[in-house]
Amino acid sequence: MQPARDPAAEAEIGSLMALVTEVRRFRSHQDLRPGQPVPAVLGGIGGTPLAAHEGAIRSLLRLTAPSDGFTPTASLDAEGVTVELDSAAAIDVAAERRRMEKDLAAARKEADQAERKLANDAFLAKAPAGVVEATRHRRDAAHADIARISGRLAALGQGDA
């Protein structure tokens, strides 16, 4: 005998899982640590089946209630809920900027080293094809890192530095 199925409950839990997954993915892209509390508003949740799960959602995602002066710096829509986050309250902007500038300098150095090797005819003539290909891959990865970090630095703004 198979257990009874409740399609409405399955859909509700699926929606809950999808919301949690989307917010976690978003937090990861914003470099917010998973356990780091972030003030948030869950707009429109009252009109969804997820309203009964708001406490669990906040707990799973480490979302705190917004305080006076709450200013959302980022938002995303998932499962009929608009999640507005104040990530500025969760990070030290000056420290994050310093960390990203250090990462950017390392990526630029890596790209420069790879470019110099690839511009050296003696290297290209003597190095095995695998080594040349690995150097090209390192160069391309460094350029991708430079673009990603530069974009994040621009999005971060000046902060309190």
Note whether residue 143 is domain-resident.
yes
Residue-level pLDDT at 60: 94
Residue-level pLDDT at 116: 95
Chosen domain end from 90, 109, 124: 90
Note whether residue 2 is domain-resident.
no
pTM above 0.75, yes or no: no
What span, in angstroms and rounded, lies between the C-alpha atoms of 85 and 73? Answer: 6
Shared domain check, 85 and 12: yes
In the 8-state DSSP scheme, what is residue 161? Answer: -
DSSP symbols for 15-68: HHHHHHHHHHHHHHHTT--TT--EEEEEETGGGSGGGGGHHHHHHHHTEEPP-T
What span, in angstroms and rounded, lies between the C-alpha atoms of 79 and 49? Answer: 10
User: Chain centroid to CA 146: how far?
Assistant: 16
Shared domain check, 85 and 56: yes
Q: In terms of residue numbers, what domain contains 97? A: 93-156
Shared domain check, 78 and 59: yes
Domain total for the chain? 2
CATH number, position 144: 1.10.287
What span, in angstroms and rounded, lies between the C-alpha atoms of 153 and 100? Answer: 7
Answer yes or no: are the C-beta atoms of 81 and 18 closer than 8 Å: no
What number is the average pLDDT over the span 81-101? Answer: 80
What span, in angstroms and rounded, lies between the C-alpha atoms of 88 and 31? Answer: 12
Going by C-alpha positions, the residue among 43, 30, 45 that lies closest to residue 89 is 30
Residue-level pLDDT at 89: 62
Per residue in 126-145, pLDDT tens?
A: 999 999 999 999 999 999 99
